Amino acid sequence: MCFQQKMIHSLFLINCSGDIFLEKHWKSVVSQSVCDYFFEAQEKAIDVENVPPVISTPHHYLISIYRDKIFFVSVIQTEVPPLFVIEFLHRVADTFQDYFGECSETAIKDNVVIVYELLEEMLDNGFPLATESNILKELIKPPTILRSVVNSITGSSNVGDTLPTGQLSNIPWRRAGVKYTNNEAYFDVVEEIDAIIDKSGSTVFAEIQGVIDSCIKLSGMPDLSLSFMNPRLLDDVSFHPCIRFKRWESERVLSFIPPDGNFRLISYRVSSQNLVAIPVYVKHMISFKENSSSGRFDVTIGPKQNMGKTVEGVVMTVHMPKAVLNMNLTATQGSYTFDPVTKVLTWDVGKITPQKLPNLKGIVNLQSGAPKPEENPSLNIQFKIQQLAISGLKVNRLDMYGEKYKPFKGVKYITKAGKFQVRT
């Protein structure tokens, strides 16, 4: 009579030290001992990143994600697309982040009742029910300091007493009856450069990935359309469900009734034919001497093709080889730290001024007797450029239909380093 069921059976939240600090079952209860298989795999994997997301055990399958130092381990009994579960678990983590400002063990423990209420609404019998933030917020109000004080005095509740009409409509991402005194719509065009630069400074691989994050606070049911000066740049786009696909296909215009609040409107990739302008260059000299317990380290970062904008927020991180004991460096700008346990060197450079290029130079101390490291470490660079979309993408105009008021509109551009790696 025991019938196997699909989708998510149970969820365990586990912290880095291996404590199960929350469990939720949507069907009959699965014993915590099932997590032993997970711990076993975790031990084998050495570091957290290498725990396989899917583990097969004699009676269950475990599908897990790792977010913000927490493992979300779900228990599955039968065939299910693994991405379905993974995507859902990330959605849960996103929701916690959205509600509590951070998705941490403390935040979850402090708000355990809300967490439970959320999980109850998000999944019915293991199948996703309401995952849209707008609907959830109608059902369960996010905690605020004021409200928690008021609640504790008056005994009123977190649970919304209005019924979530959004769930019934076919624009489930927007709640009804939104009202603002100031109507505003902001769009952040954020582009990230992914690149691999080889030893000699030439680009092995580079592409631009972008997103448009929106913050929309508009009353009523506004119908927006956002157009670009150069929409052909966008090679591959993925959409928030609110966007009308056909309109984009035919006119290259983003037409949508937005959700209320913050959300990601689109993600895109800029067509790879366009050569990517790399805004910084790195000069490096890292060497380890044979049969001596030291090496040299000399890195300079400089701006390149930055279209007259300043490169700022520059940070370099390097995973040094295991044999490195310590580093004795001097930075002409910013400050550096070296963690002898994780062997990570971090150099916080800040803003680059072309007149005086930041340089980090000094001696590397190696374990005596250990063989010379085979490989020079790769340098991971982060940076930011304000008011620039490196691809050249430009928003043309934003029009609003369906409502009478005049909203305040704003667009902000920013370029950042994505996975930007320099091989040495």
Q: Which of residues 236-255 bind other proteins (CB under 8 A)?
A: 236-241, 243-247, 249
DSSP 139: H
Q: Pairing mode, if any, of strands 184-197 and 408-422?
A: parallel
Ranges within 391-420 binding other proteins (CB under 8 A): 402, 419
Q: Segment 302-321, which members bind other proteins (CB under 8 A)?
A: 319, 321
Q: Interacting stretch for other proteins, rule CB under 8 A, among 162-170, 276-284, 331-339, 385-393?
A: 162-170
CA distance 44 to 198: 33
62 touches other proteins by CB under 8 A:
no
CA R_g for the chain: 25
Asked whether position 169 contacts other proteins by CB under 8 A, the answer is: yes
- Answer yes or no: are the C-beta atoms of 130 and 167 closer than 8 Å: yes
Q: Using the rule CB under 8 A, which residue among 117, 213, 348, 403 binds other proteins?
A: 117
Q: Which of residues 88-107 bind other proteins (CB under 8 A)?
A: 88, 90
What sign for the dihedral angle of Cα 366, 367, 368, 369? negative
Nearest of 144, 275, 142, 141 to residue 207 by alpha carbon: 275
Q: What is the largest CA-CA distance in the chain?
A: 77
Q: Are 398 and 369 in contact (CB under 8 A)?
A: no
Least separation in angstroms between residue 333's CB and other proteins is: 25
Phi and psi of 78, rounded to 5°? Answer: -140, 180
Tally of CB atoms within 10 A around 96 = 24
* Least Cβ distance, residue 94 to other proteins (angstroms): 11
289 binds other proteins (CB under 8 A): no
Least Å from the CB of residue 161 to other proteins: 6
Which tokens sit at 213?
């994050």
Contacts of 220 (CB under 8 A, 6+ apart): 178, 179, 402, 403
Compute how many residues bind other proteins; rule: CB under 8 A. Answer: 109
Among 36, 40, 124, 339, binds other proteins (CB under 8 A): 124
End-to-end CA distance of the chain: 62
Span interacting with other proteins, options 96-104, 230-238, 307-315, 351-359, rule CB under 8 A: 230-238
Distance separating alpha carbons of residues 101 and 348, to the nearest angstrom: 26
| Contact set for other proteins, span 30-59 (CB under 8 A) | 32, 47, 49-50, 52-54, 56
Contacts of other proteins in 349-378 (CB under 8 A): 371, 373-378
Kindly tell me which residue out of 97, 219, 346, 380 binds other proteins, with binding defined by CB under 8 A: 380
Q: Does 180 bind other proteins (CB under 8 A)?
A: no
Binding mask 196-215 for other proteins (x = CB under 8 A): x-x-----xx-x-x------
Give the integer Cα–Cα distance in Å for 289 and 10: 55
Is 147 among the residues that bind other proteins (CB under 8 A)? no
Measured distance CA(38)–CA(35) in Å, rounded: 5
The strand pairing partners of 210, in sequence order, are 191, 268
Interface map 248-287 toward other proteins (x if CB under 8 A): -x-------x------x--x-x------------------
Candidate residues 58, 155, 308, 369; the one interacting with other proteins per rule CB under 8 A = 155
Q: What number of CA atoms fall less than 13 Å from residue 330's CA on the CB side?
A: 1
User: Minimum distance from CB of 86 to other proteins (Å)?
Assistant: 5
In the complex, the smallest distance separating the C-beta of residue 87 from other proteins, rounded to whole angstroms, is 5
Whether the Cβ atoms of residue 219 and residue 403 lie closer than 8 Å to each other: yes
Site for other proteins (CB under 8 A): which residue of 106, 157, 182, 386?
157
If binding is defined by CB under 8 A, does position 163 make contact with other proteins?
A: yes
